[in-house]
Amino acid sequence: MHAVVDSLAMIGVSYVMGFLFYGFYRQFNARVQRRWGPTIWQNLFDNMKFFFKSETLIHGPMFFFGPMIIMAGAFTTVLFVPFLKDSDWLQGFSQYGNLILIIYLLVVGPLGNALAVGSSGNPFGVMGVTRGLTRLMGLEVPFFLGLAMVMLQHETASVHAIMAAQDSLAHWGIVTNPIAFCVILLPFIGSQHGAPFDVVGAPVEVYAGPRVEFGGRLLGVLMTQRMMMSIAKLVLLVDLFLGGATNILVLIAKAFSLFLLTTVISMVFPRLKTEQAVDFFWKVPLGLGVLGVILTVWLPSWSA
């Protein structure tokens, strides 16, 4: 019973945080561009509108199951990320998983949806998927290297144990392992589909990217899962680098500050092409990561 209530609570929290954060993003973005912008509730309204569309066009069974897989993947991901530390609540099934599992779970859903895109028969959609996979290939290398540095630092892949080790500000991951945080930050923006790495689904690119054929309730599902996945990733980074959170308010505050940081970076850079993005990930964050490995792993072992 506890597990059921807890799971529903996690899904609810991530959904609410998702539409509020992205509502804020739209307004903030508008103000930076000297527009008035929509209300902070706009993402919720959009989402609800999609869900109550009366007509949905599909292109065969796989096209329908793709968004279901991606949604199930989002739920599973959210349920395997611990939202709070030292608490019985908002834990989901995170004690049965670990960091590497979460990173892979983040990809399961999008790959399932890629099947739906393929079965729609629209070449623009598949082109978008290929771009998405290419970008993933670029960002995953530095992202995972940064996470590996964190795992090495704490000698565990368990998110709970990593959170527990950060008991005070001085022990936060961002303080004890700043290189790993810097390595991860830009690929993290890429994994959130944020600018300047948002070429995959950006409105003016290859028509509309992977979502080109989706409409109505299916588009609603895709929008929901993206908001929830983004929150899961933000919370994961809070757990790893900002010491986790002991209650929901602290969690929102920390996740929001991280979101603000990524938003600010996103707003000032122009969009990169896919291959430019990949090349950038392999030069700057990965170069920094290699430097970090040499400094934190190789040098201590030589001097020892």
Partner 1 sequence: MSAILRLLFLIVSLSPGLLLLAWDGSLSWTLIDGVRLSLTLTPLAGFFMVLLAVAAPLVALPMLRRPLDWSSLALYVPLVLGMELLLLAGDFISFFIGWEIMTWSSYLLLLRSPRADLETSQSYILFNLASAFLLLAGILFYYSLSGDFRIGPLAGTTFGQELILAVLLGLAFLIKVGTLPLHIWVPSSYDQAPDLFSAFLSGAISKMGVYGLILLLTLFPDALTSLAGRLLEGPAAGYLLAWIGVVTSVVATYKAIAQEDMKRLLAYSSIAQVGYITTAIGVGSSLALAGALYLALVHTLVKVLLFISVAGIVLQTGQRRFKDLGKLIERMPVSFFGVLIGIIGLAGMPPLPGFAAKYLIFVSLVDARWLLLLAAMILASTAAFIYCYKLIYGPFLGHANSPQAREAREAPLIYLVPQVILMALLVLFGFLPGLPVQVLIDPVLVALGMETIGGASWAELTTTYGGYDGVVLMLVFIIAFVLVTGIFLLLRGRMHRAGSPYDLSYAGEVPTEGTPLHYGAGMGRELHRIPLVGWILRRGTRGFYLGLAGQMRAAAALLGSLYVGRPQIWILIAVVVFAASLAAQSMLGGL
> With binding defined as CB under 8 A, does residue 79 bind partner 1?
yes
Residues 6+ apart with CB under 8 A from 253: 245
Q: Is the CA virtual torsion 182, 183, 184, 189 positive or negative?
A: positive
Cβ at position 23, least distance to partner 1 in Å = 23
> With binding defined as CB under 8 A, does residue 38 bind partner 1?
no
Q: Quick one: which of 264, 275, 287, 291 contacts partner 1 (CB under 8 A)?
A: 275
Q: Give the C-alpha separation, 148 to 188, whole Å.
A: 15
Tally of CB atoms within 10 A around 162: 25
> With binding defined as CB under 8 A, does residue 210 bind partner 1?
no
> With binding defined as CB under 8 A, does residue 145 bind partner 1?
yes
Q: For the residues of 140-175, what is the DSSP string, one character each?
A: HHHHHHHHHHHHHHHT---HHHHHHH--SGGG-HHH
Q: Closest by alpha carbon to 110, among 228, 17, 226, 216?
A: 226
Alpha-carbon dihedral 117, 25, 236, 139, rounded to 10 degrees: 50
Stretch that binds partner 1, among 15-23, 153-161, 171-179, 263-271 (CB under 8 A): 153-161
Q: Give the C-alpha separation, 71 to 64, whole Å.
A: 12
Binding mask 95-114 for partner 1 (x = CB under 8 A): -xxx-xx--xx-xx--x--x
Cβ at position 100, least distance to partner 1 in Å = 6
> With binding defined as CB under 8 A, does residue 29 bind partner 1?
no
Nearer to partner 1, 28 or 207 (CB): 207
Q: Quick one: which of 12, 60, 178, 287 contacts partner 1 (CB under 8 A)?
A: 60
Stretch that binds partner 1, among 14-22, 24-32, 49-57, 257-265 (CB under 8 A): 49-57
Cβ at position 269, least distance to partner 1 in Å = 19
Stretch that binds partner 1, among 164-172, 233-241, 254-262, 276-284 (CB under 8 A): 276-284
> With binding defined as CB under 8 A, does residue 213 bind partner 1?
yes
Backbone φ and ψ of 246, nearest 5°: -95, -20
Helix (H) or strand (E) holding 130: helix 123-154
> With binding defined as CB under 8 A, does residue 231 bind partner 1?
no
